Amino acid sequence: MPSSPPRNAPILIAGGGGFIGGWLARTLLAQGHTNLRAVDCKPLPEWCQVFPEVDSRVLDLRNDANSRDAVRGMTVVYNLACDMGGMGFIESHKADCMVSVLINTTLLRAAREFGVERFFYTSSACAYNGAKQDRPDVPALKEEDAYPAMPEDGYGWEKLFSERMCRHFREDYGLETRVVRLHNVYGPIGTYDGGREKAPAAICRKVIQAKLDGRREIEIWGDGLQTRSFMYIDDCLTGIDKVMHSRIVDPINLGSAELVTINHLVDLAEQIAGIRLERRYNLDAPKGVRGRCSDNTLIRSLLDWEPSTPLRAGLEQTYHWIHEQLTLPPEKRRTF
């Protein structure tokens, strides 16, 4: 397995103001890396995490000149940048999601120009063929299930196209690229309100608000029988590190193989809160595919990686962080 870069190697985290990007910066700092640059289009006060030791820059990476400025002098690039959110966002912002293809385009071109040694791209399980996700008890998705192509409209097409770009920059120009398909990453210090939050954070927020307000009901998008798998941020970061420093060049799953219903996710949040709520099912709300789960056969055999954080444990950490935010005065809450 290739060795990790030296601790003083210049590393760029594109999308460094986002949930995973912030945690990646924190992890690299803890590992002793001293030459980090983080870039995001959001103003710094809206970043999930900001560190004084990191060269943090506000740049829109859809712009070619900005990507060149970001990549210049770097030897390693992590591209986590895109315009995305939970199902409520991606189903109503398909064009915005597609425009994110410019980010990977400009970063790949800059990486080639400036001789980047390794380029990491975060794709998504939304790249998978929707026909293979049409029932709650869906078989776990294997890497080959992305083809024939029929991904999530908008966001999924952008991810699948960007995967191919990474492949061809590797084949044509010798740029070392690594690609993971992330499955529903969650944890503290992330978006929990405003429309871009994903299911674990949204459900925790709804349960907390119901408890704080003395209400005894919760709205659930869909019928609650749709299934997903959820990966805690710590497991995600370990997986990213393993794939980045491996010889695996084709897209590979990074997610949990534990298939659960949305109803069960609500059960867990209620158990943590110590309450029981009446459920109102909004069948007209965005709900995505009927079922989705990660098949980890390949990554387990090649890298001996499997998520180790039980869903209840990870959700409890997420719940307590969101609870802390919602009990602060509004002006002191973290909003992303």
What are the structural domain ranges in the chain? 11-185+231-254, 188-228+259-332
Give the model's pLDDT for residue 3: 58
Sequence letter at residue 234: D
- Say which of 78, 121, 128, 155 is annotated catalytic: 155
Give the pLDDT band (50/70/90) at residue 284: very high
Which two three-digit tokens encode residue 5?
């870069």
Per-residue pLDDT, averaged over 78-82, amounts to: 97
Q: Tell me the per-residue pLDDT of 19-30, one tens digit each, with 9 for 90 and over.
A: 999 999 999 999
Per-residue pLDDT, averaged over 62-89, amounts to: 95
Backbone angles phi, psi at 4, to 5 degrees: -70, 155
Give the model's pLDDT for residue 86: 83
Q: Answer yes or no: are the C-beta atoms of 189 and 23 closer than 8 Å.
A: yes
Categorise residue 63: left if φ over 0, alpha if ψ from -120 to 50, beta otherwise: beta
How far apart are the C-alpha atoms of 104 and 67, rounded to whole Å?
A: 9
- Give yes or no for residue 2 having a pLDDT over 70: no
- Give yes or no for residue 41 having a pLDDT over 90: yes
Hey, what CATH topology would domain 11-185+231-254 get?
A: Rossmann fold (3.40.50)
How far apart are the C-alpha atoms of 15 and 145, rounded to whole Å?
A: 27
Q: Tell me the per-residue pLDDT of 213-249, one tens digit each, with 9 for 90 and over.
A: 999 999 999 999 999 999 999 999 999 999 999 999 9
Does domain 188-228+259-332 fall into CATH 3.20.20.70? no
How far apart are the C-alpha atoms of 125 and 160, rounded to whole Å?
A: 10
How far apart are the C-alpha atoms of 155 and 172, rounded to whole Å?
A: 26
Q: Answer yes or no: are the C-beta atoms of 71 and 114 closer than 8 Å.
A: yes
User: Strands 118-124 and 278-282: what pairing?
Assistant: unpaired
Q: Given 3-state DSSP classes, what are the helix, strand and coil percentages for the chain, each rounded to the nearest 5?
A: 40, 15, 40
Give the pLDDT band (50/70/90) at residue 85: confident
SS3 157: helix
How far apart are the C-alpha atoms of 322 and 334, rounded to whole Å?
A: 9
Q: Judge if 11-185+231-254 and 188-228+259-332 fold alike in CATH terms.
A: no
- Give yes or no for residue 258 having a pLDDT over 90: yes
Closest CA to 104 of 4, 175, 5: 175
Residue 155 among the catalytic residues:
yes
Give the model's pLDDT for residue 156: 96
